[in-house]
Structures are given as structure tokens and as C-alpha cells.
Structure 1
Amino acid sequence: MKKNIISPLLSFFSLLFLGCTAQAPIAENSTPQTLLWRISGNQLARPSYLFGTMHIMCAKDAIVSPQLQQVLDSAKQVYFEVDLDNMVEMIASMKAMAMQNGVTIKDLLTPSEYERVSTYFKGKGPLPFKVLEVYKPLLLSAMIAEQAMQCEATNGMEMMILAEAAKRKKEILGLETMSYQAGLFDSIPYATQAKELLKAIDSAGADNTEVQQLLAAYKAQDLEKINALTIKEEGSLEGNLDLLLYGRNRNWVQKMPALMKESSNLFAVGAGHLPGENGVIQLLRNAGYTLTPLLNEMKPSATAK
């Protein structure tokens, strides 16, 4: 299941299916195992912040730490991968989520394979499969990741941060549009995507250790482990990492300097985008910024389910 590369669209499907004050000091970690980073230097008047999210996880583990809340207090704006507060954009992006030239899932599979896919999605969510089958197969694969979570309830860090930002009346923006994200999948043959969808469905009922490993790495805030799992997991889509992951990182880092020069911001993007030589952390360092790991205490509430 392509949970990291296609992660931005999970936030969309989750919605379908479910003047700056002074920044108080935040203690730095003794090790860089954290999801929260301060961006400073390079003539920035005020620091900005970078946070690694997970789009779908167990609700009890989706926690906005006291340190992240402190960042939200001071940041002027919150940038997600896409503007999750813009329902007009979400609706407009539906067209880009459909395969081109009227292709449907049925056109890409044998009759027996099509039956397996349609049976899996029957009764899942408010949209009938006749609507879903026009979508690019990898978008449907994203929906299946939630089934392997083994949680009483699921949530996403973006939704949690969005709620906290709304309380503070912070402006919500996106580093790219949903239509752009959905359009990226046109570069991957639909037949290849359909085979990946079948694999995701066939493994949905199994004990998915990779999903559990990714969840554990996220809870441990271990970016190196997240990076290793991301690269391993996406092996079947070899050749598309630059298109769907690294290329987007470069695009974001080109946009961020102007945004940070204007105001202090929180950039909350999928954790898989942060680590590695092609990750946002290293790319920002290459651009002359100082990236400092900050304490991020994610402690589950005793009443969380």
C-alpha cells in the first residue's frame, strides 16, 4: 500500500469518509528523533517550523503536543501539503482524480479481478463503487491503508492540527493544489496502478507488519526508520519516487524562503517528506537554513480510544 507517496490524498478521502507573539523556548532533544523542527538563520527575522504528519493513524495516537500547540500560538499561518480548509478546491479537484479518456477500473482488469475490487469496496463509505471506479487506482489504494490500522477509530494529524489552528483563527494554506497532486498519477500507467490496487486489496485482511512498523516508527518519531520504510514500501513503483516524493520536496523548498521571509509559519507535511538526502530537512539546510530538532511530547490521553 502506497501510504507515503499517495499520502496527501488520504486527507481528502478522510473528509469524505469520516502579528506574532514571542515564541517561548522549547527544549531541544538530546537525539534528533522528533517530528518537530525549527527553521532559522539565513536572515530570517522570525523562525518558522516544520512538522511531520501522518495522514491516517489510530485516533488515540493523533496528538498535538504542548510544544506543537506553542508553535501554533506563535505562527501566523499553517501550510499543509494542500489547503485542507478550502472545500471549493476539494470539489474542483474531483475531476483531476478521474482517469483520463473515460478509462475505468473495469477497463484495466480481468473480469475476476474486477469482481475482487468491486466486492471489496461494496458498502464501504457513502460513495458507490460505480463512482469510485473512475478514479485513478492509486487513489483507491490510499483508502485501503486505513483498514490495516487495527484501531477502534482513526484520525489524521492534519485534521488534529487543522482543528487547533481553527481555534486560534490561523490562516490555512497549501504548498500545492489537490488537482496538481491528483494529476501526478497520470504519469504512472493506469494498468500498473490497477495491479498495485489488487495487491493492496489482497493484503488488506492480512497481518500487515509494514503498516504496524510505520505506525511504530511514527510514534517513536524516528525519521530514519520512516525513511527506510518509505523507500522499501515504494519499491514496486520504482522510478516514480522522484516524481511523487523528491520532486515535490524540491518544489516546496523553492517556495518556502519567500513565505518564511514574510511571516513565521508552520509547515505540516507528511513525515516521509522530511528525512534523507532528498528530504525537506536536508534541502533546507542545503539552502542555508538552520534546522533544529525540538522536543515534541506526544502522550496519549487516558480517555482516548
Structure 2
Amino acid sequence: MKNIYRSIACSIVIILSLLMLLAGVSCKSNESPTPIKEKTKSFIWKISSETTSVYLLGSVHVASKDLYPLDSAIENAFTSAKYLVVEVNTNNISQDEAMQLLVDYGLYAEGEMLSKHLPADLYNKLQEQLQKFGINMALLDGYRPFVAYNMMSQLLLESLGYKFAYGIDLYFMDKADKSGKNILDLETAEYQMSLISSIPDEIMIDMIQYDIDNPELEKYLQELFTAWEDGDVAEMEIITFEALVQQPELEPYYEMMYDQRNLKMLEKIEEFLADDEIYFVVVGAGHLVGENGLINLLKNKGYKVEQLYDSD
């Protein structure tokens, strides 16, 4: 599970939002822009049809405040668009709705407990890890391993300064709300929860076992954000799929979390390209790269696909 954190940062957004509600953490953006290094390529593409353009931005769902300000190419594309399109508009999900999703998809049946499914030593390690962040294990003991894993990863990321509140998705959702720009969804919260909850418990337990003692998390995250800031598609592809190369048994997970979703997203994006309005689409960066990534899929469909530069 060497690089699973980097895949999470580029993969699915809803579980991060819901777990922050479970932990009682605010999901409102509080980014405080600070200067970042000059760069040329941006992790955004302009997709052109005969009638319109769609801007496709690869997002990282958790980030640090040092990611801001964003490139002018990204900000200008957002300003020019009539619609913001995201995976799921988490600003529209109430706390009650979020908790109901966690109950429906993450809660064990009555009588089942996480402590019965984790090895005793791993359960104790997880308990110790969560206690460091002020989280009582009793809060999670009724939930399945994917909830515990994502809670743990969320807290570890936050301890290093990487927060959902600084994520690119939330940044643009808040910006759209303030400016009155319409926000559209590519997916639903329930669909995303159904996906992540379908990952076998055994895989999630293995992920907890490895990542709870991972000493290189910060290094992995730095590599991820360097690739994103440099607009480095090749490196982002390596980051996204390295775990799959090392562990082919993860193929069903990757197919479900990336390939299948990419095809569904492609259908929606093609609908936008048939319109005459400009759309600004924000999805996890991992969905853009690779043979079955959105950039390649759109090129194969015959659309003009251009990666933008900071000065564009």
C-alpha cells in the first residue's frame, strides 16, 4: 500500500467531507494564499468542440495553504465559465444527510464491532493513533474498516498541514457560491459512498496495517504536489498508479475508482461540449492521467485538447 495516500488525495472527495463532519471539523474553506514558486505548465486543459470549450482541472482533494494562489490560467478559466462542475457539491450536503450516509454504508449491523474484525495488536495501534488526535475509538468501533481508515488518514494528513478545507474542489465551490456561479455535479454523494464501501474489508484492514506505521507520508505528499504544481502528467500518472504496479491485486479497486468513473464522467463532459456555454470542470487529478484517463479519452474522441500554461 506504499503510495495509497497519494491516490486518496487525487481520488474520491465525499468520504473526506463526511468524516470531517463525523469528527466535528469544519468543511468551509479557510485558505490563506501565500506565494509559491513560478512555474509554466498548469494542471488544467482546454477541451474544444465546434460549439464551446470545457476547462478540465485536475484537483487534489486535500492540500496545504501553500498551494495558493493558483495559476492565472486556472483562475482565468474559472472566471470565463458559466458553470462550475465538480464531482459532488459537498456544500449542499447537510450534516444530517452526511451522517445518514455514514450509517447506511459504513455502520456495522447490530452486534458487529470493528474490534471483532481487526487483529488485537492492530486495533490497539489504531486506538493509540486516534487518541493522539483526541478521537475516542468508541466513536468508530461500530463502523467498518473503510471509515476507520479514512478517518485515520484524514487526521494524519491534517497533522502535516494538508486539509480538505484547502482542497481545490472546496476552494472553487466556495468561490462559485460567493459569485453566484451555478454548480453542477458529475456524481452523487451516495454513489461515491457506495463505491468506497464496496472495497473489501480485507483490503482496508491491510491499508490500515501498512499506513499506520508509514514513515514516508510527508515525502509522498511533497512529490504529489510538486507534480501538480509543475503540470507534470507523466509523474502524476506514476504517482496515481504506482501502488497498482506494485500490487496487481488492487486492479479491481482501481478499475472501480478510476476507469468506470472516468467513462461516466466522459459522458457528462461530452454533453457539456455539445452545449454553447463554457464549463469549468474540477475532478481528482488521478482521473485525468493514464491510458484510461479523461485526457486520453477525450483525445480519442477527436476533441482538441490543450494543456494550459500559467501565462495563458
TM-score range, shorter chain: 0.7 to 0.9
Could you tell me whether the CA contact under 8 Å between 2:118 and 2:205 is conserved in 1?
yes
Which residue is equivalent to 1:210? 220
User: Contact (CA 8 Å) 1:175, 1:252: kept in 2 or not?
Assistant: yes
Does residue 68 in structure 1 map to residue 74 in structure 2?
yes
2:269 is the alignment partner of 1:256: yes
Q: Does 1:226 align with 2:245?
A: no
The match for 1:7 among 5, 12, 15 is 12
Inter-CA distance 162–131: structure 2 relative to 1 (3 Å threshold): same
* 2:119 is aligned with 1:119: no
Compute the RMSD of aligned alpha carbons.
2.8
Report the CA distance between 1:211 and its aligned residue. Answer: 2.5
Corresponding residue of 1:179:
190
2:137 to 126, 129, 139: 129
CA separation in 2, counterparts of 1:296 and 1:284?
Answer: 22
Alignment-mate amino acid for residue 222 of structure 2? Q
Structure 2 CA distance for partners of 1:32 and 1:258, relative to 1, 3 Å: farther
CA positional deviation for 1:229:
1.2
Which of 46, 56, 61 is the aligned partner of 1:38? 46
Q: TM-score, normalised to structure 1's length?
A: 0.80
Residue 86 of structure 2 aligns with which residue? 80
Deviation by residue 1:247-301 (Cα, 9 ceiling, x = unmatched): 111111012222343432111011111111100111112222211111237xxxx
Pick aligned residue for 2:171 from 145, 156, 160: 160
Structure 2 unmatched ranges of 5 or more? 27-38
Mapped contact 2:54–2:272 kept (Cα < 8 A): no
Counterpart CA distance in 1 for 2:144 and 2:193 is 8
Q: Report how far residue 156 of structure 1 moved.
A: 1.1
Quote the offset at 1:114 in angstroms: 0.9
What is the Cα deviation at residue 196 of structure 1? 0.8
Runs ≥4 residues deviating over 6 A = none
Deviations 1:159-212 (A, max 9, x none): 221222223211222211121112113432212211211211111x55643232
Distance 1:111 1:228 in 2: 35
Query: Number of matched residues?
Result: 281
Shift of 1:151: 4.5
CA distance in 1: counterparts of 2:161 and 2:40, whole angstroms:
31
Secondary structure, aligned partner of 2:169: helix
Is 1:106 matched up with 2:120? no
In the alignment, the residues of structure 2 paired with residue 107 and residue 255 of structure 1 have an alpha-carbon distance, to the nearest angstrom, of: 42
Work out the CA distance in 1 between the residues paired with 2:217 and 2:7.
Answer: 19
Q: Which runs of 5+ in 1 are unaligned?
A: 19-30, 298-305
CA contact (8 A) 1:97 1:135 kept: no
Indicate conservation of the 8 Å contact 1:82/1:174, yes or no: yes
> Is 2:217 the partner of 1:200?
no
What TM-score do you get using the length of structure 2 for normalisation? Answer: 0.79
Asked if structure 2 preserves the Cα contact closer than 8 Å seen for 1:2 and 1:142, the reply is no
Q: Is the 8 A contact 1:217 1:225 kept in 2?
A: yes
